[in-house]
Structure 1
Amino acid sequence: MPTDALPEATLATPFRRLGLVGTGAMGRGIAQLAAQAGLEVMLHDARTGAVDEAREFITGVWSRGVAKGRLSEDDLAHYRSRLHEASDLADLAGCDVVVEAIVENLEAKQGLFTRLEAILDDDAVFATNTSSLSVTAIAAACRVPQRVIGFHFFNPVPLMKIVEVIPGLRTAPEIVDRVVALGQAMGHFTARATDTPGFLVNHAGRAFGTEALRILGERVADHITIDRILVDQGGFRMGPFTLLDLTGLDVSHAVMESIYHQYYEEPRFRPSPLTRSRLAAGLLGRKSGEGFYRYEDGKAMMAEESAPPTTVPLPVWISHEDPETHQALSALVSAAGWPLDSSDMPSDESLCLLTPLGEDTTECALRHGLDPCRCVAIDMLAGLDRRRSLMTTPATEARYRDAAWALLGDDGTPVSPLRDSNGFVLQRVVACIVNVGADIAQQGVADPETLDRAVELGLGYPRGPLAMGDHYGGRRILTILNHLFTATRDPRYRPSPWLRRRAVLGLPLATTELN
């Protein structure tokens, strides 16, 4: 990912001078955007030489912009002139807003703000870049808690064009408006969220990794297959295990546990024992050379996919439950030149293709009164375009599994065989993402439009959770969750009231109610 992107500010900033405490990766990015937005930026860091390093780094970003013709020499000179060193905290006295980007520790952040209260005027705004701590708790140590607010950026700050604005319980409304305007002046989408664990983006991202880990823990598929399905069928930028390796388990596992415990063991956020044991083994990901993948020269090593087996075509019977999916699979059978069994019930030799939502192949086969030895389920949630997932029962005979595999891969589309599971891989992960997003809307953490846009920008999902639910169909998502919950009795899968009501009414999931 490039580091020289230069988002241009287009709005006036409501502040004149910004103090920045902590000049690591996050602090540097915030300082860069603030200077580009026209603020004078006072840089302070407790480590000797850190401010000089930060200024050199930021200037290097701007210099590359000049070399590429994206900035003029005058722009570079103006921006650079706005970066000043504050060798002591007292040098921040003239700032009307201070942003802290120091260590993620409650006592450290409280201590910094109480020291700053003795230096700055009472109308100066104190903004914390915390990603996981309560803004209300940080403000509780301050004499004027009304001026404390969360201002959470994502790394790398110039490229991740989103900032969460999080008022504490006592933050003054005018402070919220001013900080929202500051984020917009710095060129970012400002997502206002309530002061809840994980705020908005980290809260919304809980389902992607935790459900993938649960699928892996149930041995439905290996991590490579899960990643391939979610990238190819789901359209995600990267698979959950690639993402865990990129972030590092030392970071990811701690966040999973933190949010789970802060929500008093909410089952939807339950971590997996798989990450705890891998963390203990030092399998952190890219940074340690091995995580879920092994890395050589920074590249993940993975086995090639198995080619479909060669089989003799069998008659194919397709479940009639869903006319649309029946038609799509019938077209695939015809294109492959295989015989189609069009009878109401399959003949004794027919391969039986089922298309369940949230059911496992076993339950679906028995519900239809079919021989489970000949049944294979196909995930039709995302259609048949980029990858196809098939699922057997424990009783499915190898020749029927191989026949289904060969049929689905006849035109060269990759196929992922799975063990029996309620909801395949894609159905489970998507349904959990939508369900967590719906519950965020139910709790009022953010409005639906902000939620979807924040998740797209902050997590890189192909759609926000509510838009994702509408894309696949709210009723289908509700059906998947209901079947998962019925089969497992795990409250992790209980449908959110927000989702259930809108799905049964046939309304878009972003629909809000009258006050």
Structure 2
Amino acid sequence: MGSGIAQVAAAAGHPVYLFDAREGAAEQGRERIAAAFDTLAGKGRMSAEAARAAATRIEPIQDLPAARDAGLAVEAIVEDLAAKRALFAELEGLLADDAIFASNTSSLSITALAAPLNRPERVAGLHFFNPAPVMKLVEVVSGLATDPAVAATLHATARAWGKVAVHAKSTPGFIVNRVARPYYAEALRVLAESAADVATLDAVLREGCGFPMGPFELMDLIGHDVNFAVTASVFEAHFQDKRYTPSLIQHELVQAGRLGRKSGRGFYDYTPGAARPQPVDEPARQGVHAVTVVGDLGVAAGLIARLEAAGIEVARKSGSAEHGAGWLEIGSARLMLSDGRTATRRAVEEGVPNLVLFDLCLDYAATPRLAVAAADSCGAGAYRAVVGTLQAAGLAVNRIDDVAGLLGLRTVAMLANEAADAVLAGIGSAADIDSAMRFGTNYPKGPLAWADELGAAYLARVLANLATHYFDTRYRTSPLLQRKALTGAAFHA
């Protein structure tokens, strides 16, 4: 991370001192950065002259006093509070009074890091994402003592370096590592209920909801030791709030040394020659030739055009006036978007035995995949007709065991809920939080923009149903989301 940040600064025209406590590491870092500039020049992303000039701006140093004229010190050392405090204390005795001290920590408190210094107001977080030259997001994190002018300078500097900069308050996980917890947690919980295998669950979120990677392959990429440690850190820092409870499944992987790609095995096997498991798609079934749309399908309206394009006759009938509360009648079955209840509970409560629920998707008009869950009372023939009809519309269908909220819906609902709580706590603005999640994790939409599209009232109902099902404060609805649900106001005006 240190050399990556140095590369970004040098490319933007800054002279950079590069220091590492390990002998020879700074020179090796300079060589890697120079090679990276040569590669960019070879790909036509910068001129050969610019690459040479940028490389000459990197100066490895053997001791910190050689950098006494630096105006900004960015540390990217071990994630240890005592070590970072010691480094900043030494730098404070060397650099000018107006120098800024920035930490690339991803989880430690900026307030705690700055507290022992004589000038804590000069300290802020400057959290890059890995790899720093590629990832667009930088979180500018203010502790209790951080001078707003310091945060503003860092924000402007990151933008001048070509980054998407967002302001955040020093709190466990800042924006991204806090708001992203449900992406892993909900998938792990659904896996713990044996609802489907990891390849199927990954495909549902990757292809159905448009996330760049499924949660299990992403945890394998990050490393389970790292991902579990971040979750455990956020959990402890929030005084064991159940919303951030670590997973026993992931803990087992860490204890077994199955850390993901770097160890050769995690949820997937990365040893040479190992076969990659594929999602379990429903076998081909015979669908029906005509369906009826009752009421308004809301965000799922794109399914209608797909059915019509497949030559299926679509009739329309008035139904519930509530947006998105309509359904499809397919043979003797009813197909509905999940509202957070299990299909079995909903079938009993609504008196519809042949009930099949479908999951949330990013774009129903284009998605290649759709997850469904059938009520325990649903007849086999009725279910097969639903599957065959969806397959005729060009969808790979994945049956998930009847868990509350399926996977895509509960994941997006919890991401939006966490983001709403972050706004409520003043951690960041709605715009900054959505930008952070789009550019820090490459989510297809910011969670609050997704909430505006789906409607806060719908998501609040989903979360209430999840809380009832699990009897768990994990699914408590953010007070801000409740207010938006009551007023119909959007997070983004």
- TM-score, with normalisation over the residues of structure 2? 0.90
Question: Which runs of structure 2 are paired with 1:467-482 in the superposition (5 Å)?
Answer: 467-482=449-464
- Contact 1:163–1:189 (CA under 8 A) maintained in structure 2: yes
Q: 1:137 aligns with which of 74, 94, 112?
A: 112
Report whether the alignment pairs 1:490 with 2:465.
no
1:258 and 1:53 mapped to 2: Cα distance? Answer: 32
Question: Which runs of structure 2 are paired with 1:373-384 in the superposition (5 Å)?
Answer: 374-379=354-359, 382=362, 383=364
Higher mean C-alpha deviation, range 318-327 or range 301-310: 318-327
Question: Where does residue 10 of structure 2 map in the other structure?
Answer: 35
Question: Which runs of structure 2 are paired with 1:95-110 in the superposition (5 Å)?
Answer: 95-110=70-85
1:324 and 1:124 mapped to 2: Cα distance? Answer: 54
Question: Where does residue 44 of structure 1 map in the other structure?
Answer: 19
- Contact 1:197–1:262 (CA under 8 A) maintained in structure 2: yes
Q: What SS does the aligned partner of 1:480 have?
A: helix
CA change 1:390–1:252 in 2 (3 A) is same
- Contact 1:356–1:377 (CA under 8 A) maintained in structure 2: yes
2:340 and 2:392 mapped to 1: Cα distance? Answer: 26
Question: Where does residue 249 of structure 2 map in the other structure?
Answer: 274
Q: What SS does the aligned partner of 2:159 have?
A: helix
CA change 1:69–1:356 in 2 (3 A) is closer
CA change 1:327–1:455 in 2 (3 A) is closer
Report whether the alignment pairs 1:252 with 2:227.
yes
State the superposition RMSD in angstroms.
Answer: 2.8
Question: Which runs of structure 2 are paired with 1:345-384 in the superposition (5 Å)?
Answer: 350-370=332-352, 372=353, 374-379=354-359, 382=362, 383=364
CA change 1:352–1:186 in 2 (3 A) is closer
CA change 1:66–1:303 in 2 (3 A) is closer
User: By how many angstroms is 1:332 displaced?
Assistant: 6.6
User: By how many angstroms is 1:331 displaced?
Assistant: 6.9
- Contact 2:26–2:60 (CA under 8 A) maintained in structure 1: yes
2:236 and 2:340 mapped to 1: Cα distance? Answer: 28
Long gaps (5+) in structure 2: 320-327
User: By how many angstroms is 1:454 displaced?
Assistant: 1.3
Question: Where does residue 90 of structure 1 map in the other structure?
Answer: 65
2:20 and 2:242 mapped to 1: Cα distance? Answer: 40
2:302 and 2:167 mapped to 1: Cα distance? Answer: 43
Q: Residue 358 of structure 2 aligns to which amino acid in structure 1?
A: I
Q: What SS does the aligned partner of 1:164 have?
A: strand
Report whether the alignment pairs 1:117 with 2:117.
no
Question: Where does residue 428 of structure 1 map in the other structure?
Answer: 410
User: By how many angstroms is 1:510 displaced?
Assistant: 2.9
User: By how many angstroms is 1:76 displaced?
Assistant: 2.8
1:107 and 1:167 mapped to 2: Cα distance? Answer: 19
Q: Residue 484 of structure 1 aligns to which amino acid in structure 2?
A: L
Q: Residue 273 of structure 1 aligns to which amino acid in structure 2?
A: L
Question: Which runs of structure 2 are paired with 1:105-504 in the superposition (5 Å)?
Answer: 105-297=80-272, 301-303=276-278, 305-311=280-286, 320=294, 322=296, 335=310, 350-370=332-352, 372=353, 374-379=354-359, 382=362, 383=364, 385-386=366-367, 387-504=369-486
After superposition, what is the alpha-carbon deviation per residue over 1:223-251, rounded to whole angstroms, capped at 9, x for unaligned? 11111111122111111111001111011
User: By how many angstroms is 1:341 displaced?
Assistant: 12
- Contact 1:390–1:415 (CA under 8 A) maintained in structure 2: yes
Q: How high is the sequence identity, in percent, across the aligned residues? A: 38
Long gaps (5+) in structure 1: 1-25
After superposition, what is the alpha-carbon deviation per residue over 1:406-432, rounded to whole angstroms, capped at 9, x for unaligned? 222123310011111221111111100
- Contact 1:315–1:340 (CA under 8 A) maintained in structure 2: no
1:309 and 1:396 mapped to 2: Cα distance? Answer: 19
Q: Residue 412 of structure 1 aligns to which amino acid in structure 2?
A: G
After superposition, what is the alpha-carbon deviation per residue over 1:61-88, rounded to whole angstroms, capped at 9, x for unaligned? 1112332333334323322222112211
Higher mean C-alpha deviation, range 255-264 or range 375-384: 375-384
1:424 and 1:418 mapped to 2: Cα distance? Answer: 7
Q: Residue 231 of structure 2 aligns to which amino acid in structure 1?
A: M
Q: Residue 404 of structure 1 aligns to which amino acid in structure 2?
A: V
Q: What SS does the aligned partner of 1:193 have?
A: strand
1:91 and 1:98 mapped to 2: Cα distance? Answer: 13
After superposition, what is the alpha-carbon deviation per residue over 1:231-279, rounded to whole angstroms, capped at 9, x for unaligned? 1221111111110011110110111110111111222222211100111
Q: How many residues matched? A: 482
Higher mean C-alpha deviation, range 242-251 or range 116-125: 116-125
1:69 and 1:242 mapped to 2: Cα distance? Answer: 32
CA change 1:321–1:380 in 2 (3 A) is farther
Higher mean C-alpha deviation, range 401-410 or range 41-50: 401-410
User: By how many angstroms is 1:320 displaced?
Assistant: 4.0
2:316 and 2:210 mapped to 1: Cα distance? Answer: 33
Q: What SS does the aligned partner of 1:127 have?
A: strand
CA change 1:323–1:255 in 2 (3 A) is closer
After superposition, what is the alpha-carbon deviation per residue over 1:270-318, rounded to whole angstroms, capped at 9, x for unaligned? 221110011111221111221111124498711364452445x579887
Q: What SS does the aligned partner of 2:448 have?
A: helix
Q: Residue 376 of structure 2 aligns to which amino acid in structure 1?
A: P
Question: Where does residue 490 of structure 2 map in the other structure?
Answer: 508
Higher mean C-alpha deviation, range 398-407 or range 435-444: 398-407
2:157 and 2:307 mapped to 1: Cα distance? Answer: 58
User: By how many angstroms is 1:54 displaced?
Assistant: 0.7
Higher mean C-alpha deviation, range 203-212 or range 177-186: 177-186
User: By how many angstroms is 1:504 displaced?
Assistant: 2.3
User: By how many angstroms is 1:181 displaced?
Assistant: 2.1
- TM-score, with normalisation over the residues of structure 1? 0.86
Q: What SS does the aligned partner of 2:106 have?
A: coil
1:300 and 1:501 mapped to 2: Cα distance? Answer: 49
- Contact 1:314–1:339 (CA under 8 A) maintained in structure 2: no
Higher mean C-alpha deviation, range 221-230 or range 456-465: 221-230
Q: Residue 467 of structure 1 aligns to which amino acid in structure 2?
A: A
- Contact 2:281–2:399 (CA under 8 A) maintained in structure 1: no
User: By how many angstroms is 1:449 displaced?
Assistant: 1.0
1:504 and 1:485 mapped to 2: Cα distance? Answer: 19
- Contact 1:319–1:353 (CA under 8 A) maintained in structure 2: no
Q: What SS does the aligned partner of 2:91 have?
A: helix
